[in-house]
Amino acid sequence: MKIALAAGTRPEFIQLEPVIRELKKRDLESIFIHSGQHYDYEMDRIFFDEMHLPDPTHYLGIGSRLPGEQVGEMIIRSEPVFSSERPDLLLVTGDTNTALGVSLAAKKAKIEIGHMEAGMRSFDRSMPEEINRIIIDNISDYLFPPTVKGVENLRANGIVRNVCLSGDVMLDSILYYRGLIEKGSRTVDELSLDDGTYLLLTLHREANTDDRERLKNILSAISQAPFPVVFPIHPRTRQRIENFGFTLSENIHPIVPVGYFEFLRLLHRSRKILTDSGGVQKQAFFLSKPCITLRANTEWVETIENGWNILVDDDQEKILGAITDFNPRGSPDLSLFGHGQSSGKIIDAIGKYTGRS
């Protein structure tokens, strides 16, 4: 069996790494398509260096474009790859333009598709990611929802065939690399911070960064936090802050995006995390850190229901209230996302469904 894997953004690299490791362990043939959606060193190459990801078999070099152009170029540039390589299956994850564009090209080339993180829904169709998820789920042949709610959402969409409750490969990664995560943080040392005394902030979704008032509300609330705030700034977010003429307050410490392990060390040592990222919500949950989500909804409702995540949108009062008063008790129930063996379950299921191994 020959499996193609496609990625182009930080979350995709993180989620595909355990799968690539599993394929290598089983000596299964694979090709790795890198779309080039993220292309700065801090957003891309550092993951290959740190996680020992193999060099891409094919690099599409898409770069930064308008969403429609990006998806269109993904299709145009990946079609020849499928024509020449003829893999048995394409495996994608999540809700990015990379996952959508490459999946559409595979479907046209009559290549079967497996979708990790299938079935996750925010039920907000104003989010581009939500549209991507729905389309990918509906053209996929094999679906791997990480949670029971993902299975239920697929069933509500009429998708019941070849659905495998796999658990979350991101949990696989957290557990596998736990020893590296628990090492000291270079950034914490450089900023002369103590463990548990600072907040960690990530902010990148266009609904927050491209809307001047929303971005102003969020930054204004965080500027009033009674704690220092470490802020790895996404390149687009930095540009928007500059374009809008905003100045970060003294309690906010902007830094360049950091690698996977350094980010998790920062998260592990923080007091709380503020984020609009779906992946970071899960990472906080897996590392038992209170998560304040700067959105009105989330696809990861399990983290809310389990008491370790709270939605505050861009409401300044709610943001400040969560910073000071949101203190979950007990421990998060990681079993909601599996037991750290999701990569193996996915490869086993592909072998079962396709009759190949």
Catalytically active residues, by annotation: 204
- Of the candidates 52, 207, 69, the one whose C-alpha atom is nearest the C-alpha of residue 129 is 207
Place of tokens 């990569």: 343
276-342-160 Cα angle (round to 5): 85
d(CA 160, CA 223) in angstroms, rounded, equals 47
CA distances from 232 to 130, 143, 249, 259 (A): 25, 33, 15, 10
Count Cα atoms within 13 angstroms, Cβ side, for 349: 23
Place of tokens 């019941």: 160
| Residue 4 dihedral angles phi and psi, to the nearest 5° | -95, 135
Q: How many residues make up the chain in this entry?
A: 357
d(CA 150, CA 153) in angstroms, rounded, equals 5
Helices (H), the chain: 10-25, 45-51, 67-85, 97-108, 128-139, 148-156, 169-176, 178-181, 186-190, 206-209, 212-223, 235-243, 260-269, 278-286, 301-305, 316-325, 342-354
DSSP 92-158: EETT-HHHHHHHHHHHHTT-EEEEETTT-----TTSHHHHHHHHHHHH-SEEE-SSHHHHHHHHHTT
> Three-class SS of residue 20?
helix
What is the token pair recorded at 296?
């009105």
DSSP state of 2: E
The answer to whether 289 and 202 have CB atoms below 8 angstroms apart is no
